[in-house]
Every structure is written in C-alpha cells, then in structure tokens.
Amino acid sequence: MQTRLRMVLPDQSLLKLYEQMYLSRVFEESCAEQYTKGHITGFLHLYSGQEAVAAGATAGLHKDDYILSAYREHAQAIVRGAEPRRVMAELFGKATGICKGKGGSMHLFDPALNFMGGYAIVGGQFPISVGLAFAARYRGEDRIAACFFGDGAVNQGTFHESLNWAQLWQLPVLFICENNFYGIGTEVHRSSALASIHRRTCGYDIPSEKVDGMDVIAVYKAVKHAAEKVRETSRPYFIEATTYRFRGHSMADPAKYRSAAEHEVWKSRDPLPGYARQLQEEGIATRAQLDGIEAHCLAVVADAVTFAEESPWPEERAVWEDIYV
C-alpha cells in the first residue's frame, strides 16, 4: 500500500525528489554517451536504476552529516549539491572538475558539502566512516556519518571490523547497503552465506532493517528514522536497500550474466515513472509540470557537457599540488 505523499513531505520537497532522480538519470545516460565518444576514459560505473536510494537517503540526512560512498557515486554527489558542471568536468579530467581533474569518476570529493568521497577500493569507505563518526562524537558535534556501499563489499574485512568498532565505541554511523544483487557479475547468493544482508548485523548487535530501494519515499522514511535514532543514541544502525542497476557493472560490462526476463521485471519497477505517476494521481504535479522539470534537467546536463568540453586541461605543475609531501 502506497503512502500518501503529502503525509510525508510538502509538495516542493516531493517535486525536488523527482527532479533529483531525473537529473541523476539523464546525467548518467549522458556519461555513457560521452564514454562512447572517448571524452570519458578509464572506468565508469553508472547508477541508472538506483536513483531512489541516493535521493531518498540524502533527503533524510542533515546537511552537516558526512556522506561517503563507493565508486558508483556521481548521483550521490549531485544530489548532495555538487554542481553537475564540475562533476562532468571531473569525469572529463578537466581542471574545472570537482577534484581539479585528478580524481575522475571513482574519486569525487567535496568537503564543503560534507561529501567525503567515493572510494575505488572496495570497502575502503568503511573505516573512514567510523573515523569521521568518532571525530564527530569526540568534538560533541550533532552529525552522523552515512556510509553507502554495495552488496559486493560486505565480504571485505573492513566491513566486519568497522561494524565491530562502531558498536564497541558506540559511534554515530548509518550503514546503507545498496543491494543491487550483483558484485560485478556474481549474484549475492553465490558469494554470501547469508544473502539477506541486513541480518548480518546480529553478530554485532546492531539494529537493522530492509527497505525497497526502488521507492524513494520508502527510502526517505527509513533513512530519516534511522538517522534520528543514530543521532539520539550515538550508536550505529544498518539499512539494506534492495535496488537494481539497469546497466552492467561498468561500461566495460555487457551484463550477459543476467537474464532478459529478470531485467524486464526490475525495469517495470523503475523508480522514476512510478513516482511520477503517484505525483500526478495525488494532484501534486501535472504532466506538464513534470515535463518542465525533465526539460530543465536535460538542459542542465547538456550545459554540463559543454562546460566540460570547453574547460582547460590541468597544467603540468598541477601534479605537484594537493599532495602532503
């Protein structure tokens, strides 16, 4: 049974969620196009299909809360407030990028937004999340660390070590698993003895829940509730959001290990058209209003591509900047 939207958020916030999801989708699809043109090189992992998790979860957090993610993080950075222009320029390797062209697709980072990075090392964000939560508690700050990761990361040693320390030290960490059921091409039940990932936390006495990651409102409500609980108790909490990536693991992956039937089932649950339909049914937006939002998002992404194309490459001396030693 669907939740009546106006019982959850005001109209403006509900429309913003749609705009964030649609912007994320067209940004990622544009990235795929730019990759095929050779403007984006290296590894490129797209988020298409998982937009409800980024938009819903971020809406449930405070702006002062830390966010950390893995390498499929473009949408999370943009939803957090990163300029699409600067994100696209970063993917192009340009000097105007969010990390001056030095990070690329898998290493977006903006401390001004408390977006503390995407991490190419699987599970690399776990101990850093715990460290940031420790710092927040030590300083007496009203903030938590939200750690996003995929199902493929839960067999890493850092996952278990970080859950253990987060509970032992009673740290304000919200672990959010985006379970899209495949670690590259391996199904979760073939790599995890306990495929129901949220149940793993029983070994650390950390409360957990499972949520429909294709439903932006369900994700928002779960994360808002969990974040408030973490903030009040200064103890960790765990959410497993079941979702699905519509593309392969990366642009180099044709995803032939998934059946067409499975893909169609999940495509029918696409978070964008379902949410758009609910907005219209409840009188929150007309189709014309949604068309306007979509046109705006397409224009923003087109502008981001132009900005990235016209931006300069980093100068040679930049290789010696932004280093510790």
> Is 231 in a helix, a strand, or coil?
helix
Q: Could you tell me if 172 and 136 are in contact, meaning their C-beta atoms sit under 8 angstroms apart?
A: yes
Cα angle value 12/146/65 (rounded, 5°): 65
- Mean pLDDT of all residues belonging to the chain: 96
Each residue's pLDDT tens digit, 266-325? 999 999 999 999 999 999 999 999 999 999 999 999 999 999 999 999 999 999 998 877
Q: Could you tell me if 257 and 245 are in contact, meaning their C-beta atoms sit under 8 angstroms apart?
A: no
Helix axes 271-281, 51-59, angle to 10 degrees: 60
Helix axes 271-281, 216-233, angle to 10 degrees: 100
- All domains of the chain, ordered by start, with CATH? 23-305 (3.40.50.970)
pLDDT tens per residue across all 325 residues of the chain:
667 999 999 999 999 999 999 999 999 999 999 999 999 999 999 999 999 999 999 999 999 999 999 999 999 999 999 999 999 999 999 999 999 999 999 999 999 999 999 999 999 999 999 999 999 999 999 999 999 999 999 999 999 999 999 999 999 999 999 999 999 999 998 988 888 999 999 999 999 999 999 999 999 999 999 999 999 999 999 999 999 999 999 999 999 999 999 999 999 999 999 999 999 999 999 999 999 999 999 999 999 999 999 999 999 999 999 887 7
- Beta strand 186-187 with 182-183: parallel, antiparallel or unpaired? antiparallel
Q: Could you tell me if 107 and 45 are in contact, meaning their C-beta atoms sit under 8 angstroms apart?
A: no
pTM of the model: 0.96
